[in-house]
Amino acid sequence: MSDTVEFVESDLDVYLGRIGWEGPRRADAETLRGVHLAHMRGIPFENLDALRRTAPSLAPADLMAKLVRGRRGGYCYEHNTLLAGVLEALGFRVRRLTARVVVGADRVESRPRTHMALLVEVPGEPLPYLADVGFGAIGALLEPVPLVAGTEFRDAGRRHRLVTVPHPGPLELWVLQAYGDEKGGVASDGPWQAQYAFTLEPFERADYEVINWHVATNPRSPFTQRLYVQSVDAERHLLLHGRVLTETRSDGSVRERELADEDEVRRLLEGEFGVVAPEGMALLP
């Protein structure tokens, strides 16, 4: 796991203020869960850079400028690179992972490894935790979960579990599943829906630079096709996909509406998501 700490105390002050975390700054499970949940609720997921076919910088200073000090969010490489640096500064050991997103896929191998997740060691804990604040879906973790197969976890109201599945590779293949109302996705078992699959070998900054560039600039990447923004709080999950806004409440009710034009999209981005889109950027095809 990485020994590199790239965030200093002043960065931590600003970051923790941004996500509203006023709890302890210890390398323990309570802090890990609290910071993870506060990050999920405090910084939105958005693909505005990729929509302009621009690969966002993953340098710590640039992440601080955009996601923390600026009125923007980001996608998985930005969110999880930022969280990894913060956790290391707090004293955790972090391994950076890559995963295949398998929501709606017919088999694991049909998707490339384009998602970033984290494996976090907590001092004194027997098992590491899967942490991930950058998964842009309603099946995302809200709190980290221990790396143990077959156990259901309830993280801030959502239900998740990890399973292992057979595959031809030399390392164990883990799948994160979320509990939903409908069966869907590879490796699903009834209402348990597979979100992504991963193994535990570490990936380095150079690996993410390549994947980040591919996802943000490839014309066939879903993130270069249309606007995708989400936020979550204790009461609802809000998703803007193109011009369609979907609100899923904590009681399971869903409301959907279509936005009229660019002006309405820009107003909603700022008012509901706290994101200011760059001037002159086309938000709708």
Q: Which residues participate in catalysis according to the annotation?
A: 76, 115, 132
* 161 in Cβ contact with 169 (< 8 Å): no
Q: What is the DSSP letter of 172?
A: P
Helices and strands in the chain: count of H runs, count of E runs = 7, 13
Max Cα–Cα distance, the chain, nearest Å: 53
Three-state DSSP class for 155?
Answer: strand
- Token readout for 102 is 């398998």
